[in-house]
Chains A and B, each alone.
Chain A
Amino acid sequence: MLGILKRSPLAVFMAVLLHVLIVFFLIYGLEWELFPEKAKPQVQVVKAQVVDADKLQQKEAAEKAKLKKQQEEARKRKQAEERKKQAALEKKRKAEAKRKADAKQKAEAEKKRKAEAKRKAEAKRKAEAQRKAEAKRKADAEAKRKAETKRKAEAEAKRKAEAKRQAELAAKREAAARAERERALQEQLAAEQNAREIDRYVAVIKQQIERNWLRPAQSGEQLSCIVQVRLIPGGDVVPGGVSIIKGSGNAAFDRSVEAAVYKAAPLQVPSGGLFESFRNLRLNFKPSK
């Protein structure tokens, strides 16, 4: 346990976490299901008391008299206050009216002055705008003329550039096509040479295998089978790497070919890039004699 804790603390952590989770769900999950909350009814309790009636009446009468007196006093105080307030209000109202009339007169005069000024400004602005519009119209016409000439020049230049580009493109395409043809030719040559080389090696390998081949006694002339052989560089056969792709129908014949391949190993294979074609080699066997 301690060794594991040192080697992989993650495993210990995950195990502990798993258990903590399970315990948590057990405790809370089960309690929710088994014990739904029971609501307790809430009762309001009324308390009863014994009261003496006579005493209560006396007390009440005294309290009433006191209350009446207080009310009377309050009423008088309130009336005096009311009167005072009204006088002050009247005074204030008069002053306000006077101030308002003054302000109105002043505002009237100001308004008149402003209207005059505005009228003058308007006239001036109109004249200015007319002058500006005229100038702009002239400038526009000039600009248009210039733009026209420029556009014509540009179109001309573009046409020339296009023609040049086309010519270049054609030349390039021509060159590319020539290179392609040459390359294809070369490739074909190389492939042919490779194929010849491979054929040569295949023939050698076949001979090598046939030398080790013990044909079953009564195999006919028309039997043939195709085997696939997995090789590693150096010509060793991968164990279990010999398989019959298409059998001859004669099991003894097939087995003899397989045995011959194992016996002939290591096979003579080329080294280097050519070997890649021999990694999975297919060979066709038929009794030559």
Chain B
Amino acid sequence: MSTDLSITHLILNASLVVQLVIALLVFASVMSWTMIFDRRRVLRRAGRAADDFESRFWSGGDLAELYRQLERDGDDDSGMAAIFRAGFREFARLRTKGHKDPMAMVQGAQRSMRVSLNREVDRLENHLSTLATVGSTSPYVGLFGTVWGIMNSFTSLGNVKQATLALVAPGIAEALIATAIGLFAAIPAVVAYNRYSNKVERLNNRYDDFVEEFATILQRQAGS
């Protein structure tokens, strides 16, 4: 009777189902951490870009000049800069086509800014649902592995006359590892999901405010 209860030993001696569950959970954990690092980078960059753009926008330069600069800077713009570009492009197009109604011009610009805003927020929210899935399901998957392992160890217990604790303990220990790994995968995923969805929400509000303010300025320009 082996008394080696080290983790490696337990995992290697576990039944196939439990091993599969553990492998799945480790994969889920690696995936969720990948998402965490990736989102962290993307969101931080978006926040910084928004700060930069806002200070540029309100520094009071000519808007057409700002638009030309952004066009020149090329394709890497995102977030507020993209929204601004979409709105200004639409506005300029409507104006050159000779629309007379200022209200219609502003509404057109506002609509195209909305589309751009939705696209930006969608880009930020990308993959967040994976985090949520990992966070909510991996405890259950781990629990499934545990239940299966305990069932097995009780079945083998039924075959012997005299049941000792030493007979069931290793089986239960190996089964519990599945739950531990499930929790290990789930906790960071849930924390990160809450944090990042809150951040996305805040960025979304900022974009929204910006669209409104910019529309107001365009309206004034259209009127004059």
Contact = CB atoms under 8 A, between A and B. Distances in A.
19 contacts: A1-B31, A4-B35, A8-B41, A11-B35, A11-B38, A14-B33, A14-B34, A15-B30, A15-B31, A15-B34, A15-B37, A16-B30, A27-B8, A31-B6, A35-B6, A232-B58, A233-B62, A238-B58, A279-B60
B interface secondary structure, majority: helix
Interface string B19-58: 0000000100111011111100100000000000000001
A1 B6 contact: no
Contacts of A14: 33-34, 37
Interface string A3-29: 010011011101110110000001100
A266 B219 CA distance: 12
B5 interface: yes
Interface of B: 4-8, 26, 29-31, 33-38, 41, 58, 60-62, 127, 213, 216-217, 220, 224
Given A11-B41, A27-B8, A233-B60, 8 more contacts: A1-B34, A8-B38, A14-B33, A14-B37, A15-B34, A18-B33, A19-B30, A35-B4
A62 interface: no
Given A1-B34, A8-B38, A19 B29 contact: yes
Given A232-B60, A239-B213, A11 B29 contact: no
Contacts of A4: 34-35, 38, 127
Contact of A11 (B37, B61, B62, B224): B37
A15 B33 contact: yes
A61 interface: no
A30 B33 contact: no
A238 B213 CA distance: 9
Nearest to B126: A3
The listed residue with most B CB atoms (<10 A of its CB), out of A232, A236, A279, is: A232
A34 interface: yes
A265 B224 CA distance: 12
B6 A12 contact: no
B127 to A, nearest CB: 7
Contacts of B37: 8, 10-11, 14-15
